[in-house]
Structure 1
Amino acid sequence: MRTRSALIATGVTLALVTTGAAPSAHAATPAPAPAAAVADTTPAIVSAANAFLATLTTAQKTAVQYAWTNTTQRKKWSNLPQGLYTRTGLMWGNLTAAQQNAWLAVMQVTLSPEGYQRVRQEWAADDKLVSGGGLLYGQKYYWIALIGTPSATTPWQWQWGGHHVTVNATVSGASVALYPSFIGAQPGTYTGSTGSTVTPLGDIWTSAYSLVSSLTTAQKAQAVRGSTYIDLLYGPGQDTRAPLYEGVAGSALTAAQKTQLLTLISKYGNLVNAEDAATRLAEIQATLDQTYFAWYGPTTSTGAAYFRVTGPRVIIEYSPQAMGGTAANHIHGIYRDPQNDYGSAID
């Protein structure tokens, strides 16, 4: 058992309280709510990982497990489809149903219910694409790897991913770091198995649009950096790129706008289980004044704009691959921590 700051209760609700007169344009970051005790989830993650390994053959175990010192494998990930990028480990389509269910249990206990649902929806989108020209799409072309030995005390990492969604989870003692991860989708909207419309990242766009719409003319002059979208700066292979602090700073936002910024960031911070999400949001809230929000593209609701959040503890990018000035049904996204990518601050 350990203590975590209770910044979130359920979903994306943030415990932020303001009192007194209306906040100024440079209002201080609201103080965190009192801490609450949250159970350590690491033993459950380790147990699930070991249960997954127990379902594998000797050959499969050899294929999926790598030494913790294998830094090349720790950083081996991409959003490119099979055929343009060669992944290693175990391919999802080659696993039995029992093995697949055992792996899903690892993801479920590591991620929050919200995060697990988002990742599953992004993953399912790949089945809507048609393979051809040497490019292979579909849920079966996703890969699993374990770097290090699952442990409640020493660091290890699990990797899962393929085209347009990747999760790198470093587990070290009672801490879990999900950075860097690729949070994208192609198609961005599709019809699910029940006939309903699925938009895996729709709430993220809505939150970002709400924030940019709340900005004053002066704030928009700082935040909006260009009239057209751009692609990712911090995607695969960009581990050493320094954070680019541009846009409107958290220190220039009102208290209400800071809450909106935290709500947007929580869409990513809440990917992980509740215990680690509370710590994550506390890290970001503590540096919110030094965190910047930047926007490229129209400030309308078309969805054709790129946004980025850059701070001492977070980098978020959202880049719809827009063509002809309209939003394409194809989204690139990244989630990093400049101080803790690949668990560098906890391993």
Structure 2
Amino acid sequence: MRTRSALIAAGVTLALVAGGATAGASYAATPAAAVADTTPAIVAATNAFLATLTTAQKTSVQFAWTNTTQKKRWSNLPQGLYTRAGLMWGNLTTAQQNAWLAVMQVTLSPEGYTRVRQEWAADDQLASGGGLQYGQQYYWIALIGTPSATTPWQWQWGGHHVTVNATVSGSSVALYPSFIGAQPASYTSSGATVKPLGDIWTSAYALLSSLTTAQKSAAVLGSTYIDLLYGPGQDSRAPAFEGIPGSSLTAAQKTALLTLISKYGNLANAEDAASRLTEISATLDQTYFAWYGPTTNAGNAYFRVTGPRVIIEYSPQAMGGTAANHIHGIYRDPQNDYGAAITG
């Protein structure tokens, strides 16, 4: 069991806001009671999902913990360009689908779950053709290792533009690497505009706008956006510490940087999000913010956060429309991808 006490010790006001298209009130870190260990609930939900499957489906979805190939089998590419393994969402019954959603809900925060569902639903806006298959049905589930409250295991879910890799080890959950993207980045659902990553862009632009001219000269490294450096297949790439470090920011700017990071840190449930932000706060001075592209609010710029415990990338893509409406994104922990720091 972990507490939020270390967050208080970090001396940083955390703006933890709701994710996805919803806006939520921020709150400052204040002394709080211990947050209950979420792992037993994750294990119970996963076993309940397994209980809905046939014997053949269980064989397809389960992989040995030693299967490092499957642990790293994920991509942002659509079905038809990348071969995944496990169970495909469109082949599951409604009861099986609901059982899996329960696993995601207990592992993720309400804000994180909403964001992931919105990213996922965006794929339904794309037309299939040319051998490529888009839509929510073309997402895959895999379980690596045996669900346990004590020994490590991983659940894996993803498809085109969104993947979550969740490694569970004892009371710890690591959601890295995960792909946090969307195409389209803005769409209409039930008459409302949905922007799965809208609050992320808003937070990044607010941080950029708070920088002085001298600070911007350190942070802005190019006039056009660039592609991901740390996407699928880049597990061994060393962190690029460039841009402006946290040590060069004012207290208010550090709060803005941590607010941006919390959009990703809060992907996890409350217990693991608190632990995650404690880790990042401890090395905030050594965490860098870099920007490539226009310094306007058009949404067509790349940004990156790189620190000892975090890598975040947000990369517009020109393919399939305007760059601001097609986003690739990554969330990693250089020390804890695939649970390296919690399963050793």
TM over 0.5, shorter chain:
yes
Aligned mates of 1:241, 1:35 — CA distance in 2: 38
Structure 2 residue aligned with 1:224:
220
**Alignment-derived partner of residue 11 in structure 1:** 17
Residues 161 and 183 in structure 2, CA contact (< 8 A), matched pair in contact too = yes
d(CA) in 2 for partners of 1:42, 1:276? 10
Spell out, residue by residue over 1:296-338, the C-alpha distance to the aligned partner (whole angstroms, 9 max, x if none). Answer: 0010001110000000000000011147x96431000000000
Q: Secondary structure at the match of 2:207?
A: helix
Match of 2:202 in 1: 206
Could you tell me how far apart the structure 2 residues matched to 1:6 and 1:104 are? 31
Q: CA deviation at 1:35?
A: 6.2
Give 1:114's match in structure 2, choosing from 111, 114, 122.
111
**Counterpart secondary structure, 1:328:** helix
Of 301, 305, 319, the match for 2:301 = 305
Using a 3 Å threshold, how does the CA distance of structure 1 residues 4 and 34 change in structure 2: closer, same or farther?
A: same
User: What is the match of residue 90 of structure 2?
Assistant: 93
**Correspondence for 1:269:** 265
Q: 1:242 maps to which residue?
A: 238
Over 3 Å counting, the alpha-carbon distance change for 1:94 and 1:191 in structure 2 is same
Deviation at 1:6? 6.9
Look up the SS of the partner of 1:344 in the other structure: helix
Alignment identity in percent?
Answer: 85
2:171 pairs with 1:171: no
Q: Aligned in 2, Cα 1:10/1:288: closer, same or farther, shift over 3 Å?
A: closer
Cα offset, 1:4, TM superposition: 3.3
Alignment correspondent of 2:78? 81
| TM-score (structure 1 length as normaliser) | 0.92
Structure 1 residue matching 2:342: 3-state secondary structure: coil
Q: CA–CA distance in 1 between the matches of 2:40 and 2:283? A: 30
CA distance in 1, matches of 2:302, 2:16: 28
One-letter identity of the residue aligned with 1:267: K
Contact kept in structure 2, 1:125 and 1:186, CA below 8 Å: yes
In structure 2, the gaps of 5 or more residues are 8-13, 19-25
Offset, 1:188: 0.5
| Residue aligning to 2:43 | 46
Query: Whole-Å Cα distance in 1 between the matches of residues 168 and 5 of structure 2?
Result: 19
Retained in 1: the 8 A contact 2:3–2:275? no
**3-state SS, counterpart of residue 77 of structure 2:** coil
- Per the normalisation by structure 2, the TM-score is 0.93
Cross-structure match for 1:143: 140
Distance 1:34 1:106 in 2: 29
Q: Aligned-residue CA RMSD in angstroms?
A: 1.7
Matches within 5 A, 1:314-329: 314-322=310-318, 327-329=323-325
| Counterpart amino acid of residue 2 in structure 1 | R
